[in-house]
Structure 1
């Protein structure tokens, strides 16, 4: 019975990985990059590369922007302070169905020019959890469940799981080496795989199981805004004059929190009698995603309500959310997440490679095998190339460019998708050379991105290393160079192996 059960788990492990491995690689790849989304934003938005301001910022200095939001009848106006990872002050408002974003230099108070890009926080991070299409969150959830199945079935398959962890034989045949690498990456990152996958499913629990949320809160809008009692403005509502000082609101919030600084201030329905001020507390020093908020009356600034203490089940959910989102400021842990994410990508990729290598000699010319190999190439090296093309397009396209009705940010996204689709086609058209050529392409794009950053911003690697506020840019360039070097080495090694095999 035991061998049959292990054999059935092996079948489940193989086909779950084969069918959803491409989706899982995309999720983990984009999630790994999202660990440093703010740092990638600095690389993609040169205008935001500035020294962090040390002096205290005045919220009232931006009253003109708030008054403009009132005139436009915005449903909300929000200001978010800069922090260690993001030196820019952000102002955001919503008018009708449209959102307006302004990046502000906190030292001068002046608006920064439109960056002309979604950056990592606007494209890579949303891609990680939604794949950027309508039902993407559901496909991500299905892939997440498959990942948990893969983890459990992998444990069942490997009876000597700890022995496998310490076994790596690069001198053996490619199939044996790939399986060893797959096992090492899987066992080493097993706690990370399970914790991050499970916490991601918990975050979207209300999407996958809305009946539970509806049972507690039949009217989602009313429930989410219950603590501020917000209603949409109507023409009959009179303007609120005067409006209290935002700086005084921030001082009152700090006294309630024990001198912790606010992270952002949101004014709902500015300029109407339905207006409320919500102040969010910074949670950068803890794992639990508390989102502690205070609500104030805008006319006299008195405290209306405070978020009540979380119940144990809610606090557990917030802990899992914080564990997944890593909003806390801890650089060693952030690098550990990044390394673990790369390990997950290695595990998924080597699983693909092992399956292909085991069947190449017997099925190499079959249509089904070529189809799977093309899908694997596009899913693994293809999405890496597409991401690098996204970075290259960011440095090549001039600000303000418009083509066929698409602005610069949209053109960068189109470059990503066009190159990604091209890598699938390349895998189907050149199956014998696909891994060599795509590995070399990764190296070329990575090196090109570093050179273009230097040429278009006058920030070479030696300069960014010397200036502390440019360290995120230096880190981005360094990782591109290291990744490009690994890709060149891999491509040349595969080419040499192919020549040796041809001579045999």
Structure 2
């Protein structure tokens, strides 16, 4: 099993690092949104508001010809009403509305965490033939192989759990840290990887849905997910009161024994006689991301369809909720974040141990394997941190509404992310000996710069935001400063290890790879 563990890690390590890093950040994707979209840093939303008065007028003005209006209701983490729709030239558009005044907030010009970092985690933003989903699925299967083979290869799991020798040479420290993070968070890694694969079962195993639902995807959508549908009639009609539908939905759920509030409203064919309105039940107080939804006639308000997940689908929705952690539990949210970051440490130390144990031998033999893995490790580790921080810094530097060569402000932020990531790869390939140390130092500077720019471009200076109730902004600033400190500490340790490194050992005395 040792060879399987080694080569699966070498081949998939860089991709897994990117997935774990963006997945860890996605735990706080809405807090990242508040930091990157200053206009949405509002006070907590009121308990009662009217969609008919606050949202529908804006929707009619902005998205008159859009086939669908999607309305996300405010929460403590997202204090705005969100209106999403599609425009022919603009594509997907999201606008924010103040739930207290009904004011349409200025376009924030950023995809932030929910529309860039979170989708990157499971799709890599590669849409052609769903190739991004397949790559992430392959990495997930590889992670399960790594976890299983790692347990078999490391027979002394209990001893390795208590073994960490920080004063030993670098290779020994890397292996100890790799074993420690692998054993300590093993249950989390298994659950998070397995649930991630189960979420997208219909992509990876389409034959299952074809066998269970012979009438096609429409039958799957209606029976498994409750997605009622009917075509537009082409005849105009006024939309019924969304507020009345929300009130009716709450009473229906209470009478069925599943009390709860709505969190999402979607209007199909707005302004058409065949319009219908889908209302989904919130899942903030439960692990399961339930599929409970009601569908109303858009012109009469009559209840057309009621759906709750069947037992098998309910298991899948439970695992989905376990993976996405959309329920309100801040202790678990931080534990998920720590578990995700431990996955980054686990994968990164494994790659570094592999390349470090072979670097001298490969150089003598004229082989480039260790150097390639080194470059991939730096790029997927420090390079990805730099790209993320450049994403944040660009967000604070670009003026609102700016465009460049036909690219919107949000697109420019994404271009900055990918270009800086590409530069990190070029730097790692050209300067392998200094790559880790220099890129970590660069990341530290960028993290501090992001905090300073946030203070300069907004009124949210860290000490003030901390005590003024802006926990999301203050938390983001503090985590950036912690990241800067960790990067400087790691850079210093690497420099010290390089100065104190002994002469490379003879190939026959190199420890056999275990990571």
**Counterpart residue number, 1:498:** 498
Structure-2 separation of matches of 1:499 and 1:169: 19
**Counterpart residue number, 2:442:** 441
**Counterpart residue number, 1:80:** 72
CA contact (8 A) 2:221 2:228 kept: no
Structure 2 residues not aligned, in runs of 5+: 505-515
Q: Secondary structure of the residue that 1:406 maps to in structure 2?
A: coil
Quote the offset at 1:418 in angstroms: 0.7
Quote the offset at 1:432 in angstroms: 1.1
1:116 aligns with 2:109: yes
CA contact (8 A) 1:283 1:291 kept: no
Match 1:99 to one of 92, 95, 114? 92
Structure-2 separation of matches of 1:478 and 1:452: 14
CA contact (8 A) 1:228 1:305 kept: no
**Counterpart residue number, 1:330:** 329
Quote the offset at 1:185 in angstroms: 0.3
Instruction: Trace 1:193-212 onto structure 2 (pairs within 5 A).
Output: 193-212=189-208
Structure-2 separation of matches of 1:250 and 1:484: 46
Instruction: Trace 1:198-347 onto structure 2 (pairs within 5 A).
Output: 198-217=194-213, 218-221=215-218, 223-225=220-222, 229-234=228-233, 237-241=234-238, 243-258=239-254, 260-308=260-308, 310-347=309-346
1:486/1:96 CA distance change after superposition, 3 Å: closer
CA contact (8 A) 1:69 1:77 kept: no
Q: Secondary structure of the residue that 1:439 maps to in structure 2?
A: helix
1:71/1:345 CA distance change after superposition, 3 Å: closer
Quote the offset at 1:172 in angstroms: 1.2
Structure-1 separation of matches of 2:150 and 2:345: 15
Q: TM-score, normalised by structure 1?
A: 0.93
Question: What does the per-residue CA deviation read over 1:191-248, in whole Å, with 9 as the maximum and x for residues that have no partner?
Answer: 11110110110011100111211223333145425756523325xx32224x322111
1:438/1:69 CA distance change after superposition, 3 Å: closer
Structure-2 separation of matches of 1:161 and 1:64: 62
Q: Secondary structure of the residue that 1:305 maps to in structure 2?
A: strand
**Counterpart residue number, 2:140:** 144
CA contact (8 A) 1:389 1:416 kept: yes
Instruction: Trace 1:14-53 onto structure 2 (pairs within 5 A).
Output: 14-53=6-45
Question: What does the per-residue CA deviation read over 1:327-382, in whole Å, with 9 as the maximum and x for residues that have no partner?
Answer: 11110010000000011000001101111221223224643322221122111111
CA contact (8 A) 2:274 2:299 kept: no
**Counterpart residue number, 1:180:** 176
Structure-1 separation of matches of 2:205 and 2:133: 13
Structure-2 separation of matches of 1:426 and 1:228: 49
CA contact (8 A) 1:75 1:95 kept: no
Structure-2 separation of matches of 1:91 and 1:131: 25
Quote the offset at 1:503 in angstroms: 11
1:129/1:158 CA distance change after superposition, 3 Å: same
Structure-2 separation of matches of 1:333 and 1:220: 35
Quote the offset at 1:433 in angstroms: 0.9
CA contact (8 A) 2:170 2:497 kept: no
**Counterpart residue number, 1:450:** 451
Q: Secondary structure of the residue that 2:69 maps to in structure 1?
A: strand
**Counterpart residue number, 1:359:** 358
Q: Secondary structure of the residue that 1:277 maps to in structure 2?
A: strand
CA contact (8 A) 2:286 2:327 kept: yes
**Counterpart residue number, 1:428:** 429
Structure 1 residues not aligned, in runs of 5+: 1-8
**Counterpart residue number, 2:154:** 158
CA RMSD of aligned residues (A): 1.9
1:376 aligns with 2:369: no
Structure-2 separation of matches of 1:67 and 1:404: 31
Quote the offset at 1:495 in angstroms: 1.9
Quote the offset at 1:471 in angstroms: 0.8
Q: TM-score, normalised by structure 2?
A: 0.91
